[in-house]
Structure 1
Amino acid sequence: MKKTLLVISLLLVIMLQTGCWSRTELNELAIAVGLGIDKVGEQYELTVQIVDPSQVSSQGSSKGFTPVVLYSSKGKSLPEAVGRLATEVPRKIYFAHLWIVVLSEEVAKKEGIGYILDFLSRAHEFRNDFYFGISRESTAKQLLGILSALERIPANKMFQSLSIAQRDWSPVSAMHLDEMLDEMMLDGKNLVLNGFRIEGDINKGSSIKNLESTTNRTKIKLSSLGAFKGDKLVGWLNESESRGYTNITNKLKRTVLVVACEGDGTVSFDVIRSKTKIELLNDRGGKLAFKVSMLTEADIASAECTIDLNDQNVLNDLETLGANQIKEHSSSAIKKAKKLGTDIFGFGEVVRRSRPAYWQTIKHDWYDIFPTIQVEITPVLKIRRLGAIGESTLNDIK
């Protein structure tokens, strides 16, 4: 974290030494790393998380002071709320190093995110490499106020959680501003964003004492994926459905699958890569039909049952069990999306690419057509490595 702030400071110093007449001195800036958007009555409430450099540095930190400060303001529009922050923040707010924008669940459901994306993409103060998240069962302001032990800056904690979990754990989908705009511009695909949930006492989580305990701390945890229809949140996927979503949409990078052995015990797969292809088939009984082909490669991570992994028949059975679980996750995700009436997978986009003239005749009715489509899921799982041993060590335990 110290290195990050040092780089930021050096860049700013270089920029400020160019001799520009409109320069702003470093000690006149307030570096914003998190932004929260709530709705209070008819007004937007904007919360900005500002870094306190003296508390982030180990040399200058003082016990009892938090590493960040929150400032909030209200306005009928977001630009008005940003402007009104000047009445509270004693420095010019610098938004170019923003890490996370958090929207409350209420705003995402009732107001939608179209206006928010328009504001963020128009304002020249913002870059487009920050992540988005939705605060579940709390306000965005409350979420930004929860302090984290390992990452002292809450916005950085959420940014890092999204980055790492997307790489190592499949039910996560992290998106930047430009990626969200691209997806929202597609005719036959809807947006999905990650949720965050506060675990523990919200009031205690915003106190410096939250960093002084090894257990029972209030934490920010990644929640499941939120599905959108147009620009509004319409529902949530559970963990299994979220796994299916990332698999179908080729966003799965790495994860763990656990299958039951015959009798007692389980075998865990470390999924190392996965590739999915969606094809449009001939109409079946007047309904659109698709084929979803999946190829997943995995290593054996653990075997908690008495099986011989050197036996090819055993491996074949395990591959079938793993493929069946992938199919179950994918089927449950499609079922949930049909129930919500939103095509988060891009089946409509497949129709548009494959049969553009036909798509023009149905695109305005796609939300009515999507729940009726037929999807054939054909997963294949290949075991690549068994680890350092073949037979399970449980076979030798008497």
Structure 2
Amino acid sequence: MNKCIRLVLSLAVLLPLLTGCWDRKELNDLGIMLGLGVDKDGDQVKVSAQVVVPNEVSSKSGGGKGTPVTQYQATAATLFEAIQKLTETSPRRIFMAHVRILVFGEEYARKDGIYDVMEALMREPSVRPDYYVMVARRTTASKVLDLLTPLENIPAEKLYNSLDVSAKTWSPTTTVTGDQLVDYMLTAGIQPVITGVEIVGNQKISGSKDNISSIRSPASLHTTGLSVFKKDKLVGWLTEEESKGYNYIRDNVVSTVSHLPCGNGGAVTFKALRTSTKRKAKIVNGQPVIHIKLENVSSIAAVECGVKIGSMETLRKLEQESEERLIELMQKSVNSVRRKYHADIFGFGQEVYHADPKLFKTMENDWLKYFDNLDVKYEANVQIKRTGTLDNSFKNEMKE
């Protein structure tokens, strides 16, 4: 009797562990989507899926004869209806767990807003929220995902890696993941900003291997400027200078290169080694005041004029001019956004909330009016730690 009880108990414990792969998905039955594009088609949603062609990316199969990816398109009333509708043309079920890049067409982002799409993707358990989001500038998402690129044979990977590297080494660009974007849209006191991408060159060649058959590609994908959103709709674009100022304020700058003009027409080029920015709100006489303090450590990368880099007086002057330039960039960005878009993309409202939650609650409904007249104080501290392997430039010593 005891043996029977032990046997039953053992089976009761072991059977749940022997369920097998009840939700398995065979790779041969899946079309792995790496890039997702969303465009407007009348009053409906047009979805473009960039799917990997396994035989063309597999070294064992001797790939390379065709294109490494293919694109499927479908139009429906909602996002997931369109995605399911892709099976009308795709021989495989679209698998979304490996999406690397989400691209919104500019027209869709301006007119329809992006919240419904973002909520649908966040709700879907198979989609990981670490993909990067971009906006196709002056073109559609389908055209962006249709362009073959050199170096990276999968365009979605190119977009992901290019944006990732650019955000770490070039101050006008930044990365925004799916979960960050939703957080920006739902959090009071901050509006979303998304990096743009545009096609430069011959757009008619998109989708053809001719674009990667020469040293210089006839068309290329460029990350370009930051798009400004109000709630979930695109309202405009920042220039390169304004984008730099935004990223300095938001502490997004990891490393970058900039320059200052010399008196005789040349320039001194700087490479930022470390940059950090702190934002803090203080309440003065019942009104919020934003304090921005930027700390920058740079090295001298190039000297195109005859200044004496070995002189401490010269270095201090360059540091002072750099501080003035950084403050100018931040001021220009804030003033431009206030004048053109009236959208708090800098998160000043969040800083006020952290400083005095009760005061911010009284301002929250009309925060953008307060934002337009907010007192913002800027401070920058630049230190030049390195001058490279040379001291003074030997340009003036060249012989005729």
TM over 0.5: yes
Q: What one-letter code is carried by the residue in structure 2 that aligns with 1:370? A: F
Q: What one-letter code is carried by the residue in structure 2 that aligns with 1:212? A: S
State how 1:72-151 maps to structure 2 within 5 Å: 72-151=73-152
Distance, in Å, in 2 between the alignment partners of 1:187 and 1:21 is 43
State how 1:97-246 maps to structure 2 within 5 Å: 97-246=98-247
Q: What one-letter code is carried by the residue in structure 1 that aligns with 2:347? A: G
Q: Cα offset for 1:176?
A: 1.1
Q: Cα offset for 1:241?
A: 0.5
CA contact (8 A) 2:245 2:333 kept: yes
State how 1:1-398 maps to structure 2 within 5 Å: 19-58=20-59, 60-61=61-62, 65-283=66-284, 288-339=288-339, 340-398=341-399
- 5+ residue gaps in structure 1? 1-17
Q: In the alignment, which residue of structure 1 is the partner of 2:15?
A: none
CA contact (8 A) 2:282 2:355 kept: no
Q: Secondary structure at the match of 1:20?
A: coil
| Aligned-residue identity in percent | 34
Distance, in Å, in 2 between the alignment partners of 1:257 and 1:62 is 43
Q: Cα offset for 1:68?
A: 0.6
Q: Secondary structure at the match of 2:309?
A: coil
Q: Which moved more, 1:20-29 or 1:319-328?
A: 20-29
CA contact (8 A) 1:28 1:92 kept: yes
Normalising by structure 1, report the TM-score. Answer: 0.92
- 5+ residue gaps in structure 2? 1-18
Q: What one-letter code is carried by the residue in structure 2 that aligns with 1:203? A: K
CA contact (8 A) 1:51 1:68 kept: yes
CA contact (8 A) 1:287 1:372 kept: no
Deviations 1:195-218 (A, max 9, x none): 000011222132111111112521
Distance, in Å, in 1 between the alignment partners of 2:177 and 2:211 is 30
Deviations 1:188-243 (A, max 9, x none): 11111000000112221321111111125210110100111111111110110000
Q: Which moved more, 1:250-259 or 1:77-86?
A: 77-86
Deviations 1:80-105 (A, max 9, x none): 11111121110111111111010011
Distance, in Å, in 2 between the alignment partners of 1:62 and 1:364 is 58
Distance, in Å, in 1 between the alignment partners of 2:43 and 2:184 is 29
Query: Which structure has the bigger radius of gyration?
Result: 2
Distance, in Å, in 1 between the alignment partners of 2:23 and 2:164 is 36
Distance, in Å, in 1 between the alignment partners of 2:363 and 2:64 is 63
Distance, in Å, in 2 between the alignment partners of 1:34 and 1:350 is 35
Deviations 1:7-52 (A, max 9, x none): xxxxxxxxxxx94144222211111100000110011001100011
Q: Cα offset for 1:182?
A: 2.2
Q: Secondary structure at the match of 2:139?
A: coil
CA contact (8 A) 2:57 2:63 kept: no
Q: How many residues end up aligned between the 2 structures?
A: 380
CA contact (8 A) 1:173 1:251 kept: yes
Q: Secondary structure at the match of 1:241?
A: helix
Deviations 1:162-203 (A, max 9, x none): 110011111111111122222223211111100000011222
Q: What one-letter code is carried by the residue in structure 1 that aligns with 2:31? A: A
Q: Which moved more, 1:231-240 or 1:174-183?
A: 174-183
Q: Secondary structure at the match of 2:91?
A: coil
Q: Secondary structure at the match of 1:34?
A: strand
Q: Secondary structure at the match of 2:299?
A: strand
Distance, in Å, in 2 between the alignment partners of 1:279 and 1:21 is 52
Distance, in Å, in 2 between the alignment partners of 1:281 and 1:23 is 55
CA contact (8 A) 1:205 1:219 kept: no
Q: What one-letter code is carried by the residue in structure 2 that aligns with 1:359? A: F
Distance of aligned partners of 1:182 and 1:63 in 2 relative to their CA distance in 1, 3 Å threshold:
closer
